[in-house]
Amino acid sequence: MRTNLTKIFTLIIFTTFFLNSCGIYKRSDIKDNPVNVDERVRKNIQEGRGFRFGKGATRGGDFDFASSNPLWRGAVDVLDFVPLTNASYSGGIIITEWFSAENNTENTNRELKLTVRFMSNEIRADAIKVLVFEKSCIQNNCKTKKIKSKLEGELKLAILKKAALFEKDDFKKYKETKGKNKAKGIIKKN
């Protein structure tokens, strides 16, 4: 038993020494490495220690702005009746402030908050998820809960319809401007 432990211990020491002397581990000093991330990436790629793949390998990144996404534009347009607390295009979420109906005559103070989550940029039924939260207050005693409401389905449908209209208009504008210009270039070449 003792000889097996000795052999294992010797093997571990030898392997550590061997790997360290092969240059796998190389001590790095702060003065040798740039602090700026972009400079460090550029240096690593020049030395052959890094790689890039996909779209970023040949050119700059593609940026999708909210104005080019019909689903996002449709959601913002449909939710224009209530102030927004958070509208994060990169995070794919829109959250409204608490709001109440104008005809709320009950003795309870009932308010709603809407959350729209974007699951995809494509205009389809499972691309967005609408959540409705309710806050009921009776004499400074407030309770908040997520509720199932017809409002979820109605808002989702309205957003999808508006997004489809935006996409149709965008396609029509593209066809009228850029599509005609491309056709002129093809005709001139022939």
Q: Which residue has the higher pLDDT, 138 or 45?
A: 138
Q: What percent of the chain has pLDDT over 90?
A: 32
In this prediction, residue 152 carries a pLDDT of 93
Residue owning tokens 């997004």: 163
pLDDT averaged over the chain?
A: 77
Q: For the segment 61-117, what is each residue's pLDDT rounded down to a tens digit?
A: 444 455 678 999 999 999 999 999 998 888 889 999 999 876 655 555 889 999 999
Q: What is the CATH number of domain 66-173?
A: 3.30.530
In this prediction, residue 62 carries a pLDDT of 46
In this prediction, residue 143 carries a pLDDT of 92
Residue spans of the domains in the chain: they are 2-57, 66-173
- Sorted by sequence, the CB contacts under 8 Å of residue 44 that are 6+ apart come out as 50
Tally Cβ neighbours within 10 Å of residue 34.
13
Q: What percent of the chain has pLDDT over 70?
A: 62
- β-sheet with 141-147: strand ranges across: 84-88, 93-96, 109-118, 128-138, 141-147
Mean pLDDT of 42-51: 60
- The pLDDT of residue 24 is above 70: no
